[in-house]
């Protein structure tokens, strides 16, 4: 079945440093979504990427979808303590009905 | 107004007991899901219902039985609870679930601890 892996599993950064998490799928995806889960909270939708090579920005967050539609990345510039949480990518397969498979997640800790 | 709600928020119980978790969404969505999140934060889908019909049933023990009385509700009943069932269970919903590009809305989670 479809597998979605994320690296790194954990990341500690000093406040103000940049952060990147990478997402890799075993199969080609029709789209990829990113979610953020704050400590003790629930996953919250951030963004969706659909087109090959697509890049989207939300303030300090930059999301990219690979050309082959099998990988994606989330880059945060100048991290803040409010960025703390676990970031999940979620990939949906192509062709007919395909469930969304969540990645393994990257837990970000920001040291003030 | 809470979009996706779950009860209870916390559940502490003894091994071997039977328990239920309830989920309701007021978004008018057709599809609802149950996820299990373990201590390592891995988020695994368990079940998905579309308009009260089961469409996804991952390899989950038979002790777990979902029930959808209507498309706004999806409950999870667990028989003979085991220590390994301790986790956070999230309910989620999406508009149709059978189309691509569907955003999922998660409930606050139910923290289950089996002693």
pLDDT digits (tens, 9 = 90+) for A44-65: 999 999 999 999 999 999 999 9
How remote is the C-alpha of A47 from its chain's centroid?
9
Q: What is the pLDDT of residues A5-25, one digit of tens each?
A: 999 999 999 999 999 999 999
Which residue range(s) make up the domain with A93? 4-111
pLDDT 10s digits, A75-88 = 999 999 999 999 99
Q: What is the pLDDT of residues B15-50, one digit of tens each?
A: 999 999 999 999 999 999 999 999 888 999 999 888
Do the Cβ atoms of B42 and A90 come within 8 Å? Answer: no
| N-terminal to C-terminal alpha carbon distance within chain B | 34
Say if residues A75 and A61 touch (Cβ distance below 8 Å): yes
Strand order in the sheet with A55-58: A4-7, A19-25, A71-76, A61-65, A55-58
Q: State the CATH number of the domain containing residue A9.
A: 2.60.40.10
Of B41, B45, B90, the CB nearest to A105: B41
Among A2, A34, A100, the strongest candidate for a mutation testing the B interface, having the largest count of B CBs within 10 A, is A100
Which is more confident, A56 or A93? A56
The larger pLDDT score, comparing residue B87 to residue B39, is at B87
- CA–CA distance, A25 with A20 (Å, rounded to integer): 17
Q: Would you state the pLDDT for residue B100? A: 58
Contact with chain B for residue A44, Cβ under 8 A: yes
DSSP E strands in A1-112: the ranges are 4-7, 10-14, 19-25, 29-37, 44-49, 55-58, 61-65, 71-76, 85-93, 100-102, 106-111
DSSP three-state, residue A81? helix
pLDDT number for residue A95: 65
User: Quick one: CATH architecture of B4-114?
Assistant: Sandwich (2.60)
- Provide the pLDDT for residue A96: 58
CB A3 within 8 A of CB A26: yes
Mean pLDDT of chain A: 94
pLDDT of residue B59 exceeding 60, the answer is yes
Taking CA–CA distances from B55, the nearest residue in chain A reads A99
């Amino acid at each position: 079945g479809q597998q979605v892996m994320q690296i790194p599993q954990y990341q500690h950064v000093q406040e103000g440093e940049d952060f990147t998490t990478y997402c890799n799928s075993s199969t080609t995806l029709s789209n990829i979504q990113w979610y953020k889960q704050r400590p003790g909270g629930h996953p919250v939708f951030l963004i969706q990427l659909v087109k090959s090579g697509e890049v989207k920005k939300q303030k300090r967050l930059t999301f990219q979808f690979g050309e082959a539609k099998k990988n994606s990345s989330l880059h945060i510039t100048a991290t803040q303590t409010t960025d703390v949480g676990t970031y999940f990518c979620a990939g949906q397969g192509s062709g007919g009905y395909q469930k969304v498979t969540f990645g393994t997640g990257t837990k970000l800790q920001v040291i003030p | 107004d809470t979009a996706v709600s779950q009860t209870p928020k916390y559940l502490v119980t003894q091994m071997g007991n039977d328990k239920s978790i309830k989920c309701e969404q007021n978004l008018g969505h057709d599809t609802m899901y149950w996820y299990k999140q373990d201590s390592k934060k891995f988020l695994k889908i368990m079940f998905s219902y579309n308009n009260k019909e089961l469409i996804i049933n991952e390899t989950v023990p038979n002790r777990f039985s979902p029930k959808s009385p209507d498309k706004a509700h999806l409950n999870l009943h667990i028989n003979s609870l085991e220590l390994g069932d301790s986790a956070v269970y999230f309910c989620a919903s999406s508009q149709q679930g059978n189309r691509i590009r569907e955003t999922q809305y998660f409930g606050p989670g139910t923290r289950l601890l089996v002693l």
